[in-house]
Amino acid sequence: CVLNAREFGYGTVVLQSGEDPGLTPERIAGLVSWIKQKTGLAVTLSLGEQSEEVFRLWREAGADRYLLRVETTDEALMQVIHPGEPHGSRKANLERLFQLGYETGSGVMVGIPGQTYSILARDLVWFRERDFDMIGLGPYLPHPDTPLAGFKSDHPNQTLADELTTHKAIALTRIMCPDANLPATTALATINRSDGREVALQRGANVVMPNLTPVQYRSLYEIYPSKACINETADICQGCLGGRINSIGRKIGVGPGSRKSKLNSKEKNMK
């Protein structure tokens, strides 16, 4: 998969999974080190909450970025969607990532039950205050086998889990965080298969993440039903996304995809 990424001209690769005890810290560190040595690609990890020691191990192995969704900055809502999770644990983990020198990304699901428009607004303000490098915003799509699948909120200001509300959140985040990387998520492409990613790119997003996982394994990582691009091979996905991006007059960027302000800072330091 990683060698395919290099052949396709991608500048970064994302390794993402659930919090799987079978993926030991040492195994991930070895994989990160191999990728850096063999390809030189930037490595982004999205492997859930970990200890500071594990975050440090992966950073020292060569990981460049880490994505960890805060899910919500509202502690009452956090106890609903993650019962028993220690107060502020995700925020604390994100602070550790910043301190270890990762380019750090976070995000929330738009429309999760119990999320009001005020809560979502506070989330966006917090993203600006913490100055995240990447911010992921996608519509809440429940999986039927999860505890939240049947949970409904009757709050009059419950956030809608739809395309328009997600686009508004992306657009507001772009205004508040002008140089952050904002992905056009697969979830948006799932609820709008005709041009979900393209519209998101026109509303403030600037990143797409083609799936390189071999087709036969994709169904084993079903985070929500009917996920877009589940049956397309990596080369088909590359061609499709390229055509979609070109169709709206955009050009595909090259390089590792660092946040613009950090890239400029590195260039200044090299002069």
pLDDT of residue 223: 81
Residue 64 lies in a domain: no
pLDDT of residue 267: 47
pLDDT of residue 270: 35
Regions of the chain short of the pLDDT cut 70 = 261-271
pLDDT of residue 172: 99
Residue 196 lies in a domain: yes
The CATH number that applies at residue 190 is: 3.20.20.70
Dist CA 101 CA 167 (whole Å): 30
pLDDT in tens, 37-49: 999 999 999 999 9
Residue 132 lies in a domain: yes
* Residue showing tokens 């919090």: 19
User: How many domains does the chain fold into?
Assistant: 1
Residue 32 lies in a domain: no
pLDDT in tens, 44-90: 999 999 999 999 999 999 999 999 999 999 999 999 998 988 878 99
C-alpha dist (Å) from residue 136 to 110, 125, 219: 10, 14, 22
pTM: 0.92
> What tokens were used for 162?
């739809």
> What tokens were used for 234?
């990596």
Dist CA 184 CA 193 (whole Å): 13
Count Cα atoms within 13 angstroms, Cβ side, for 20.
12
Residue 203 lies in a domain: yes
Torsion angle of the four alpha carbons 53, 57, 63, 65, in this order, in degrees rounded to the nearest 10: 0
Residue 176 lies in a domain: yes
Nearest one of 153, 255, 159 to 207, comparing CA atoms: 255
Can you give the residue range of the structural domain that contains 78?
74-90+108-217+239-247
Residue 210 lies in a domain: yes
Residue 199 lies in a domain: yes
